[in-house]
Amino acid sequence: MKLNIALLPGDGIGPEIVDQAVKVTDAVCAKFGHTPLYTAALTGASAIDKVGDPYPEETHQACMDSDAVLFGAIGDPRFDNDPAAKVRPETGLLAMRNKLGLYANIRPVMCFPSLVHKSPLREALIEGVDFVVIRELTGGIYFGRPQGRTEDMNTAYDTCVYHRYEVERIAKLAFGFAMERDKKLCLVDKANVLATSRLWREVVQGMAAGYPDVSVEYMFVDNAAMQMIQHPKRFDVVVTENMFGDILTDEASVITGSLGLLPSASVGLHTSVFEPIHGSYPKAAGKNIANPLAAVLSAAMMFEYAFQLEQEAAMIRKAVESSFDAGVVTEDIDSTRASKTSQVGDWLADYIENH
């Protein structure tokens, strides 16, 4: 089977972690008889530097022509505190989501048994945690118009907009996930304050009758933020709007013990994108110290969701779990005997080849 994969390493640690995901992808393909075909493309600050556009048309075409996209990270501190910057790396990420129609971000949250001790939460709270957050990705305040500043620059405004069809399609996906898991769905919103949240609740309540086997819970976002820390095992499938999902999944990453462990899949109308949830971590760029496992696990999601190759995905996850047991981890997991980014990738590829 030929696998056409677009590679968008991006900024910061992106190129380093994508390299390790490629090593693992190559090892799995060699083991199972597949042929990976890669197309590398520019995005983020690196694309701005070279062509002046964080998501150039050539990159978009490469994504459209591929079966899946492996994406690293976007972001550069040069742009963070420059209010005069006309183009920012993050606008490339939003453009990619918009042009590819990536309306759903799927973020699994689970605690690996070997790393329970690394979480800041008590073991009794997190042992067995296994839930998934379905985040709406192309609507809400990140895309709402109007947006801007007044002429005197003393007032700024953003607009949160959602259409019924946007809520219906993400809710349908979330109900489908719930049916395949423990049949529990939690809608996170702020319906006591926001009109958009009241639309979300109205839509989900209307759809719930079509899924009588699914138990539906409705929770305000501030309560959900507390419950994810106090009682994370209560969740199975969480569905929420764009900004709430962005914040809650970063919070949920604490459960695993490292932000470098959570993968994600962004799916929608065209080619799906698979990426770690962490950022570009510019302070670690080029030092060969970043944790590549979120990128590697994103590759596992790619095999599962883009190619329907579940055995290959399971092989990658088994290799990752075994790397914990063997103590082959980066400094964020174990600073006393840390492996380098590239060493972790080499170990995983070797494990796959020999098991």
218 and 201 Cβ atoms separated by less than 8 Å: yes
Q: Which of 246, 281, 305, 332 is catalytic?
A: 246
For 161, 176, 204, 315, 329, the CA distances from 321, given in Å and listed in that order, are: 41, 27, 36, 10, 11
Handedness of CA 181, 268, 146, 77 (dihedral sign): positive
* Burial letters 268-292, b for 16+ CB under 10 A, else e: beebbbbbbbbbbbbebbeeebbbb
167 and 270 Cβ atoms separated by less than 8 Å: no
Q: Which of 222, 283, 325, 350 is catalytic?
A: 222
Q: Which of 55, 76, 103, 142 is catalytic?
A: 142
Determine the Cα–Cα distance for residues 3 and 19; give it in Å rounded to an integer.
Answer: 17
Question: Tokens 């399971």 correspond to what residue?
Answer: 314
Q: Which of 55, 189, 190, 281 is catalytic?
A: 190
Q: Which of 250, 318, 340, 346 is catalytic?
A: 250
* 190 in catalytic set: yes
96 and 60 Cβ atoms separated by less than 8 Å: yes
* 82 in catalytic set: no
* 332 in catalytic set: no
Peptide bond into 232 cis (omega under 30): no
Determine the Cα–Cα distance for residues 276 and 249; give it in Å rounded to an integer.
Answer: 12
For helices 341-354 and 310-326, the axis angle rounded to 10 degrees is 120
Question: Rounded to 5 degrees, what angle do the CA atoms 204, 206, 209 make?
Answer: 100
* Residues assigned a catalytic role: 142, 190, 222, 246, 250
